[in-house]
Structure 1
Amino acid sequence: MRMPSRIANPVLAALLEGSGFGSLDEFAGAVNALGASEYGLRLFYDHVAVRRWLSGGSCRQPDLVAAVLSRAWGLDIPVAVLWPQRRLGLAPAPPHQTPSVAARTLDELAAYIGSDMLTRRSLLSDAIALTTGTALTDPLLRWLTGPTGRLPDRATTGGRITMSTVAGIEAATTAFGTQDAAIGGGLSREAAVGQLKHAVDLLRDASYTDAVGNRMLAAVAELAGMTGWMSHDVHMAGPAQRYFVLGLHAARESTDPRSTPLQVNLLADMARQLRDLNHPHDGLRLVDAALTLLPRGQHPAAAAMLWNLKARMLGALGPGSVTELRHAIALAEDLQGSAEPDDDLPAYTGPAELAGNAALAWQDAAAHQPDLAVHAQNQALAALAARPDGYSRSAVFDQITLAAARFTSIDPDQAAADGHRAIDMAAEVATSTRVVDRLRTLLHYCAPHTARPAVRDFRERLTETLTAAVS
């Protein structure tokens, strides 16, 4: 399909390129045919009309254009996605329903960041709901493999972005990640939002070479993902998902070499969030999508992380998934063993992370088959032994999983001691709401053993700790 050289409606262009129509005339004919069959309209659109729409012109039958594209893509595409000026005060379509166009992604990020900076956390969380099920995964996975709208040429306008500018944004993201891993996302979330605003404003207003602009877009994607992860850590589920999806847009639209690893990492983070919120089927679809993005035989550490994460999803799906879970964990270990030390490692990978996730997967499976808890115990111990300094939150999670596994028909008294240790460790991660959530699960695991004095004492202390955490 030949597109005009001047395109003022990049969303329509991206949707047309992925629609399957062979030419602009063929698409115009489909619009004419639908108008005749559904409404008895005699329309005479041709490639000239479609070029006019692509060049910024309005359309007298936008509903028909949206309907033809919706049928071609197999998902609902609102008119406001194609012609935003027709929203008439309505909220824009969620980003998981719209294709990737770099300029629009930056505009949406800028608007969303502005709302975030002016709104209290609780109000923002109430305003933006988490999307789950096929309403999330079907449109997202469709545009993830479709065409994209790249960054516009900004070589001669405004101030200048250099590689050192981009390196500064990347270093800030690393610093936020270090603090998040140590004490949770609650302390610096708003600082990360402010840093993201600065990066987005630069890309929208300054000039850059193609290489610098696309590396900066990748840096924006990574920082948006970090902001989303910190938001997830403090119970801001909808806002976190919005940052993840917009970050995924930015990563997909960038031509920087890190584009694919960033897309993989963002899909993995979205899957982790969905599993934490009890949507493992949705998480599994995103993990599988991330696996298809990885070139075969490349990035073994990233592949290991994904297969390990797949086991995490499978653990919650019942006893029928235990065999597949076992194979996924084994494959992840094999892939990790083949990863080179200088491989482009995702943020959360390596032996400790793989063992920690495997422990969680086995503990989920032990809900249906208690003898599997011994695998959770062994993997949790391995994770604690390998966990590097600075990952205090992950270490607390490992300790909680160890206690849960030992409460599951292994050694309740030792589990109580492990639980006390988890409470002590949790005090060091003061700004993570997820730590409190994980601690709360131990109330369930210890409940069958409260006749034992050691367990009863632990349960009383845990109840006091949880009460203080929410007061």
Structure 2
Amino acid sequence: MRLPSRIVNPVLAVLLDGSGFTSLDEFAAAVNALANQEYGLHLSYDHVGVKRWLSGGTCRQPEVVAEVLSRAWGVEIPVAVIWPQSRGGAPPAAPHLVPCVAPRTLDELAAYIGSDMLTRRALLTDAIAFTAGEALSDPLLRWLAGPAGRLPDSSAPTSHRLTISTVTRIEAATAAFGAEDAAIGGGLSREAAVGQLKHAVDLLRETSYTDAVGNRMLAAIAELAGMAGWMSHDVQMAGPAQRYFTLGLQAARESTDRRSTLLQVSLLADMARQMRDLGHPATGLQLVDAALALLPRGRYPAAAAMLWNLRARMLGPLGPSSISELKHAVRLAEDLLADADPGDDDLLAYTGRAELAGNAALAWQDAAGHIPALAAHAEEQALAALEARSPGYSRSTVFDQICLSTARFTGIDPDQAATDGHQAIDLAAEVATSARVLDRLSSLLTHSAPHAARPTVRAFRERLIVTLRAAAA
């Protein structure tokens, strides 16, 4: 389909581009036909009318246009997605309901960051809904598979020019936030990361740039949005975290930078981890499979290993019928990592031997909820993760220690499990800003309950209760 050169409504342009219609006249005819069949309206739109909509003009029957596009794409497209001015004071559509269009994504990020910076965490969390299941995966994955609206041309030199050195500083700041998050949790630096993201978005919206620099900045924004999302998830801001993840994913899809594909993979993986943490492993499995489909065959074995390992993590809670598939995923992840070169994982934070073992431990422990004998595999992998874990990953080390304690409570070694639990409490003090650490610590109360009469376990449970109460105070 040939689109006009002057486009004021880029969302409509992307929707038309991926709709399957071969011309603007064919699309206009479909609008006329549906209006007649469903509403008894006699319309006479042609390519001129569609060009007018693309140029910023309004439409008298927007519901019919939205319905035609919804049927063409196979997902519901609200009118407000195509014509935001029709919202009439209502909040904008959630990002996962909207196609990937760079100018829109930047506008959405700017508006959302502004709300975040002016709103207390609890109020923001209550205001932004978390979505799981087909309501999320169907539209989100459909948009990722369709065309994307790229950055507008901004190559004409101005007094405010975006340079590559500025982009590299944004990338370095994101790396620094990631290191701090891994070491002490996301609670302390979340607002600083959001502020840095605001600065990056403002730069891209307000300066001129070459195509290469602009798209690298868009990729940097995607990565930083993902970091803000991960920090939000770590402090149990589920809806806000998902919104940052989604907008970051769309920015990565819209960028032509060489990192675009791996950033999409990384963001889908983080969204899957959030789904598992919040009790939606089936949705997480869909997101992991989408990430695997993005990876070029035979490339990035470290990233592929991480995804297959994460797939095992999603399969763990799904019951005995998934055990053989889980075992296959764990083994394949190990084989892929063995084939990886040391530099293969430089674009993804959570790859490597320790991460594979830690995730495998969690997968086997989830499976042990159905078949307790599998806790032996969880224990073995947790010990391997602790041995391989590098300094600077304090939160992951706590998770490994909690998993080891959980496995030993499940495997009927309660006294050693209590000792492991005490170590987990000690380690957790280093990651005091992570709500996820406290959440997983609290799960040890459930796993230790069958052995509560034993003196060592009783002492551990008493200390754990005091620790959790102090953290909640």
Q: 2:142 matched to which residue of 1?
A: 142
Given that 1:31 and 1:68 are in contact with CA atoms closer than 8 Å, whether structure 2 keeps it comes out as yes
Given that 2:272 and 2:287 are in contact with CA atoms closer than 8 Å, whether structure 1 keeps it comes out as yes
- Secondary structure in structure 2 of the residue aligned to 1:353: helix
Q: 1:469 matched to which residue of 2?
A: 471
Q: 2:234 matched to which residue of 1?
A: 233
Q: Deviations over 1:291-344 (max 9, x none)?
A: 000010011111000000000000010111000000000000000011111114
Residues in 2 aligned to 1:409 and 1:83: alpha-carbon distance in whole angstroms: 58
Given that 2:137 and 2:283 are in contact with CA atoms closer than 8 Å, whether structure 1 keeps it comes out as yes
Q: Deviations over 1:112-131 (max 9, x none)?
A: 00000000000000000101
Residues in 2 aligned to 1:59 and 1:129: alpha-carbon distance in whole angstroms: 30
Alignment of 1:195-214 (within 5 A): 195-214=196-215
Q: 1:82 matched to which residue of 2?
A: 82
Q: 2:218 matched to which residue of 1?
A: 217
TM-score by length of 1: 0.99
Residues in 2 aligned to 1:250 and 1:222: alpha-carbon distance in whole angstroms: 9
Q: 2:2 matched to which residue of 1?
A: 2
Q: 1:47 offset after TM fit, Å?
A: 1.1
Identity of aligned residues (%): 76
Moved more, 174-183 or 20-29: 20-29
Q: 1:60 offset after TM fit, Å?
A: 1.1
List gaps (5 residues or longer) in structure 1.
none
Q: 1:29 matched to which residue of 2?
A: 29
Q: 1:133 matched to which residue of 2?
A: 133
Q: Deviations over 1:223-279 (max 9, x none)?
A: 000000000000100000000000001000000000000000000000000100000
Alignment of 1:442-453 (within 5 A): 442-453=444-455
Residues in 1 aligned to 2:357 and 2:424: alpha-carbon distance in whole angstroms: 18
Q: 1:368 matched to which residue of 2?
A: 370
Given that 1:373 and 1:405 are in contact with CA atoms closer than 8 Å, whether structure 2 keeps it comes out as yes
Residues in 1 aligned to 2:23 and 2:451: alpha-carbon distance in whole angstroms: 69
Q: 1:410 offset after TM fit, Å?
A: 3.5
- Secondary structure in structure 1 of the residue aligned to 2:21: coil
Describe the shift of the 1:158–1:143 C-alpha distance in structure 2 as closer, same or farther (beyond 3 A). Answer: farther
Q: Deviations over 1:23-54 (max 9, x none)?
A: 11111111000011111111111111111111
List gaps (5 residues or longer) in structure 2.
none
Alignment of 1:264-283 (within 5 A): 264-283=265-284
Residues in 2 aligned to 1:388 and 1:355: alpha-carbon distance in whole angstroms: 13
Aligned residues: 471
Instruction: Determine if the alignment matches structure 1 residue 343 to structure 2 residue 332.
Output: no
Q: 1:391 matched to which residue of 2?
A: 393
Moved more, 272-281 or 83-92: 83-92
- Secondary structure in structure 1 of the residue aligned to 2:263: helix
Q: 1:11 matched to which residue of 2?
A: 11
Q: 1:409 offset after TM fit, Å?
A: 2.5
Given that 1:181 and 1:390 are in contact with CA atoms closer than 8 Å, whether structure 2 keeps it comes out as yes
Moved more, 154-163 or 411-420: 154-163
Residues in 1 aligned to 2:431 and 2:284: alpha-carbon distance in whole angstroms: 26
Q: Deviations over 1:124-145 (max 9, x none)?
A: 0000010111110100010011
Q: 2:295 matched to which residue of 1?
A: 294
- Among residues 399, 402, 413, which one is paired with 1:400 in the alignment? 402
Q: 2:414 matched to which residue of 1?
A: 412
Q: 2:439 matched to which residue of 1?
A: 437
Residues in 2 aligned to 1:40 and 1:453: alpha-carbon distance in whole angstroms: 78
Residues in 1 aligned to 2:374 and 2:50: alpha-carbon distance in whole angstroms: 60
Alignment of 1:100-115 (within 5 A): 100-115=100-115
Given that 1:268 and 1:290 are in contact with CA atoms closer than 8 Å, whether structure 2 keeps it comes out as yes
Residues in 1 aligned to 2:238 and 2:428: alpha-carbon distance in whole angstroms: 22
Residues in 1 aligned to 2:245 and 2:235: alpha-carbon distance in whole angstroms: 15
Given that 2:376 and 2:411 are in contact with CA atoms closer than 8 Å, whether structure 1 keeps it comes out as no
Q: 1:427 matched to which residue of 2?
A: 429
Residues in 1 aligned to 2:84 and 2:427: alpha-carbon distance in whole angstroms: 50
Residues in 2 aligned to 1:409 and 1:50: alpha-carbon distance in whole angstroms: 66
- Secondary structure in structure 2 of the residue aligned to 1:434: helix
Alignment of 1:306-317 (within 5 A): 306-317=307-318
Q: 1:158 offset after TM fit, Å?
A: 5.0
Q: 1:297 corresponds to which letter in structure 2?
A: G
Q: 1:190 matched to which residue of 2?
A: 191
Q: 1:232 corresponds to which letter in structure 2?
A: H
Q: 2:120 corresponds to which letter in structure 1?
A: R
Residues in 2 aligned to 1:18 and 1:231: alpha-carbon distance in whole angstroms: 33
- Secondary structure in structure 2 of the residue aligned to 1:309: helix
Q: 2:467 corresponds to which letter in structure 1?
A: T
After the TM superposition, which segments of 4 or more aligned residues of structure 1 sit over 3 Å from their partners? none
Q: 2:153 corresponds to which letter in structure 1?
A: D
Moved more, 335-344 or 284-293: 335-344
Given that 1:62 and 1:79 are in contact with CA atoms closer than 8 Å, whether structure 2 keeps it comes out as yes
Instruction: Determine if the alignment matches structure 1 residue 174 to structure 2 residue 166.
Output: no
Q: 2:94 matched to which residue of 1?
A: 94
